């Protein structure tokens, strides 16, 4: 190419570039002249999904009609004991007697309360005229029904450093209290004296609640291993394992014994039923689901404590799912798109639970359909724009003709089981750290300060 030709080519390229810039500039200016199109409709806070229930759709009229439906509650019974988790029918009083209005009759210090690193998660248990508690670390306390401290025992394992773990659970069988701790030990104590009978190393955190049935103790360790131990000496009878899960919630539900099977709940959201005597697997089921827009829905742990009624087991998680499965086969009966953060309570043809969206719910026990929902306290410091902490809700339980939920916000609320209407609010000055239990027409719970509080 000649020098003249090269100069002409460069000039053409430069002119084409200038023309391109001009076209782009005109396009942008034309776009700026266009009027912005505003979509019609209300503006919603992007965080509203975290604090509000789903808006009712075409089923709203049916839900309102169902809310007026009655309920046939079992008769009230004056029970003397509440010795174990009531997921197993043998340890459950469906409707204990309880008067109203509730008034505090005593508060007793039982050890360390809640802190940034430690939590009280063991519900009190009642047996033989004694109430047993476990604080946020490793102190077990026996209290009389009149409020006197009978004995205290520190079950910190040898060689462990105090404060390095938290959590645990309690169960009473005869004159023995079985105590699990986050340090990975299960300890048997004399109920009358607090003396240690035996200690078993669980080889993983033991913050789950034990179940004592027949000659065996069943407990979850590390959220992925189910243990069966001889209650006489703590020796291993058999063991099962489930799927690993890196995201777990502190504590584990008590295994449920039903129809000759023991059902364990794993941190992965799996439920596994094995034959109680030998540990041979019978069936597997899962409580899996994810509520969009909530970080907590990434945690698959079974937080809605499983409970057996007849041949059905009800359980839930905080990811937005509650299920009913056949206790003999594990077959799914129904799934509800509502999570359960504490107790799943089936009674009178309904299922009551505190949902992952801070509602007390009544579901139809036959199909899981929503009947009504009553709002409970949600995020702490919402007015300051901080939504990193939520109030903890414990329960519900049924006692004295009403549903009772204890909250860390400083109130214990009673609701009408038929309509969900708030009946009574009782002060818990330091906020509740455990679910309430009822025995001897008295309600007991542990508050966040580390006190056993009694109401009657």
Cβ–Cβ under 8 Å, residues 178 and 188:
yes
In a domain, 436, yes or no: yes
Both 21 and 157 in a single domain?
Answer: no
Both 23 and 107 in a single domain?
Answer: no
- What is the 3-class SS of 163-207, one letter each residue? CCCCCEEEEEECCEEEEEECCCEEEEEECCCCCEEEEEECCCCCC
pLDDT at residue number 158: 86
- At residue 100, does pLDDT exceed 50? yes
Q: Sorting pLDDT into bands at 50, 70 and 90, what band is 9? A: very low
User: Model confidence over 350-392: pLDDT tens digits?
Assistant: 999 999 889 999 999 999 999 999 999 876 665 555 555 789 9
For residue 204, the tally of other CB atoms under 10 A from its CB is 14
In a domain, 48, yes or no: no
pLDDT at residue number 59: 33
Both 78 and 22 in a single domain?
Answer: no
Q: Which residue has the higher pLDDT, 303 or 284?
A: 284
Task: For residue 266, give the nearest of 292, 290, 284, 289 by alpha carbon.
Answer: 284
- At residue 233, does pLDDT exceed 70? yes
Domain with 234, as residue range(s), is 74-455
Q: Which residue has the higher pLDDT, 160 or 238?
A: 238
pLDDT at residue number 382: 56
Tokens of 33: 């002249």
pLDDT at residue number 12: 42
Q: Sorting pLDDT into bands at 50, 70 and 90, what band is 7? A: very low
Both 182 and 253 in a single domain?
Answer: yes
- At residue 132, does pLDDT exceed 90? yes
Both 2 and 113 in a single domain?
Answer: no
In a domain, 40, yes or no: no
Both 5 and 146 in a single domain?
Answer: no
Cβ–Cβ under 8 Å, residues 140 and 127:
no
pLDDT at residue number 370: 96
Q: Which residue has the higher pLDDT, 387 or 435?
A: 435
Highest average pLDDT, of 200-214, 333-347, 360-374, comes from 360-374
54: Cβ contacts below 8 Å, ≥ 6 apart: none
User: pTM of the full predicted structure?
Assistant: 0.83
pLDDT at residue number 317: 86
Q: How far apart are CA 323 and CA 339, in angstroms?
A: 9
User: Model confidence over 291-336: pLDDT tens digits?
Assistant: 655 555 555 667 778 999 999 999 988 778 899 999 999 999 999 9
- The DSSP code for 91 is G
pLDDT at residue number 232: 95
The stretch 211-232 carries a mean pLDDT of: 92
In a domain, 156, yes or no: yes
- Give 120-141 as a DSSP string: -----EEETTEEEEE-SSSEEE
pLDDT at residue number 398: 98
The residue whose two tokens read 């986050």 is 182
Q: Which residue has the higher pLDDT, 157 or 303?
A: 157
Both 17 and 127 in a single domain?
Answer: no
The stretch 218-235 carries a mean pLDDT of: 90
- The rounded Cα 256 to chain-centroid distance in angstroms is 16
Lowest mean pLDDT among 7-16, 53-62, 398-407: 53-62
Q: How far apart are CA 70 and CA 174, in angstroms?
A: 39
- At residue 247, does pLDDT exceed 70? no
What is the chain's mean pLDDT, rounded? Answer: 84
The stretch 171-196 carries a mean pLDDT of: 96
Both 6 and 87 in a single domain?
Answer: no
Cβ–Cβ under 8 Å, residues 445 and 436:
yes
pLDDT at residue number 219: 94
In a domain, 38, yes or no: no
- At residue 51, does pLDDT exceed 60? no
Both 307 and 197 in a single domain?
Answer: yes
Could you report how far apart the first and last alpha carbons of the chain are, in Å? 105
Q: Which residues face 177 on adjacent strands?
A: 172, 189
In a domain, 278, yes or no: yes
pLDDT at residue number 42: 53
Both 294 and 415 in a single domain?
Answer: yes
Q: H-helix or E-strand containing 150?
A: strand 149-154
* Counted domains in the chain: 2
Both 201 and 293 in a single domain?
Answer: yes
Both 211 and 316 in a single domain?
Answer: yes
In a domain, 331, yes or no: yes
Query: At 305, is the secondary structure helix, strand, or coil?
Result: strand
In a domain, 50, yes or no: no
């Amino acid at each position: 190419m000649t020098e003249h030709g090269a100069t002409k080519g460069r000039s053409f390229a430069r002119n084409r570039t200038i023309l391109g810039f001009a076209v782009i500039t005109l396009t942008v200016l034309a776009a700026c002249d266009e009027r912005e199109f505003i979509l019609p409709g209300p503006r919603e806070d992007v965080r509203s999904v975290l604090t509000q229930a789903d808006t009712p759709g075409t089923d709203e009229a049916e839900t309102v009609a169902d809310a007026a439906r009655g309920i046939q509650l079992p008769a009230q019974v004056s029970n003397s004991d509440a010795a174990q988790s009531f997921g197993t029918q043998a340890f459950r009083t469906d409707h204990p007697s309880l008067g109203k209005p509730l008034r505090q009759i005593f508060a007793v210090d039982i050890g360390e309360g809640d802190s940034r690193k430690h939590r009280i998660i063991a519900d009190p248990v009642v047996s033989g005229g004694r109430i047993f508690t476990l604080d946020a670390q490793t102190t077990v306390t026996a209290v009389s029904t009149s409020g006197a401290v009978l004995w205290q025992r520190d079950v910190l394992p040898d060689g462990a450093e105090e404060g390095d773990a938290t959590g645990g659970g309690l169960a009473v069988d005869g004159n023995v209290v079985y105590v699990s701790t986050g340090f990975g030990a299960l300890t048997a104590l004399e109920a009358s004296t607090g003396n240690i009978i035996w200690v078993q190393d669980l080889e993983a955190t033991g913050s789950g609640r034990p179940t004592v049935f027949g000659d065996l103790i069943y407990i979850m360790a590390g959220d992925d291993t189910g243990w069966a131990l001889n209650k006489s000496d703590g020796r291993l009878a058999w063991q099962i394992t489930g799927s690993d899960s890196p995201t777990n919630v502190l504590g584990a539900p008590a295994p449920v014994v039903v129809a000759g099977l023991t059902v364990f709940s794993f941190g992965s959201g799996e439920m596994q039923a094995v034959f109680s005597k030998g540990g041979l697997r019978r069936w597997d089921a899962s409580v899996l689901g994810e509520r969009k827009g909530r970080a907590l829905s990434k945690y698959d742990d079974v937080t809605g404590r499983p409970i057996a009624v007849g041949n059905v087991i009800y359980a839930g998680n905080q990811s937005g799912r509650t299920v009913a499965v056949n206790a003999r086969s594990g077959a799914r009966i129904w799934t509800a798109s509502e999570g359960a953060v504490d107790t799943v309570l089936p009674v009178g043809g309904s299922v009551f639970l505190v949902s992952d969206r801070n509602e007390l719910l009544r579901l139809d026990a036959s199909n899981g359909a929503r009947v009504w929902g009553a709002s409970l306290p949600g995020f702490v410091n919402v007015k300051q724009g901080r939504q990193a902490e939520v109030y903890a809700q414990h329960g519900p339980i049924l006692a004295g003709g009403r549903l009772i939920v204890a909250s860390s916000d400083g109130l214990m609320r009673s609701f009408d089981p038929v309509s969900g209407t708030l009946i009574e609010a009782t002060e818990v000055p330091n906020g509740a750290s455990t679910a309430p239990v009822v025995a001897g027409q008295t309600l007991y719970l542990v508050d966040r300060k580390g006190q056993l509080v009694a109401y009657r």
